[in-house]
Structure 1
């Protein structure tokens, strides 16, 4: 039975498996959309409106790259820039309903592409996955809260 000493290796395996899962699913959908688009919309959904520099940092891209991405998303009406209530000189980027709908549709497409790869899952496996998701979300919510943000921030 694993113990706390095994946690770093287990978390590493989860991150690796998740990356692989997303890569396989994205390939199966045939989507040519940049993963950065979905990552950016996901960050904005999870953390709420962010300044461009903060969005770039969280998304792990340069500010010029994020500026270009936000400009393209703004043209599609998937995001909008709004005044920062904490600093009238600054702007925040927020996800728009069209962008969130596109993100939801993409995730449904990913799910439809990847679910058939797991036909052997029984009720115990499904319960284990549900528990794993709950544990991961709780830890990630704590991480969001530690930087003063949470899903409830929206």
Structure 2
């Protein structure tokens, strides 16, 4: 398999894991909520349009989601310090807590699928996780 095919397979497997996690956790929150909170935690405050772009959501859809997340206390809208006519969205402490709790739930739901791996497989996965994290965090940063 070529390097490009390996990368495509990793991405496909990650999408499959995401769907599997949603089914296993039985978490009824939309996946877009967790994506938005994750992006805000990693990238910091963002305008709604930028958040929509980074989460691959439409701007009207993100506007609705930000409204729901604001009502739930998971994000806050603030005045953009660079443009008083615009607002930015920030994750709140409650949003950070909810995201952390979801990640614990996610780990617990997926761990049984990997229970039969031996130490060498775990070492390989751990290395892949570190490499992928180094290549993708933060998403918007220059390399």
Q: TM-score, normalised by structure 2?
A: 0.94
Residue 79 of structure 1: aligned partner: 75
Residue 152 of structure 1: aligned partner: none
* Pick aligned residue for 1:113 from 101, 104, 109: 109
Q: How far is 1:142 from its partner?
A: 6.6
Matched, 1:132 2:128: yes
Greater Cα offset, 83-92 or 105-114: 83-92
Instruction: Give SS of 2:87's match.
Output: strand
5+ long unaligned stretches in structure 2: none
Greater Cα offset, 135-144 or 97-106: 135-144
5+ long unaligned stretches in structure 1: 148-154
Higher relative contact order, chain-length normalized (CA < 8 Å, sep 6+): 1
User: Structure 1 segments of 4 or more deviating over 2 A?
Assistant: 141-144
Instruction: Give SS of 1:91's match.
Output: strand
Residue 98 of structure 1: aligned partner: 94
Distance in 2 (alpha carbons) for counterparts of 1:50 and 1:96 = 13
Distance in 2 (alpha carbons) for counterparts of 1:67 and 1:7 = 38
Q: How far is 1:143 from its partner?
A: 4.3
Aligned length: 143
Q: TM-score, normalised by structure 1?
A: 0.87
Residue 34 of structure 1: aligned partner: 30
* Pick aligned residue for 1:50 from 27, 34, 46: 46
Instruction: Give SS of 1:31's match.
Output: coil
Distance in 1 (alpha carbons) for counterparts of 2:74 and 2:11 = 28
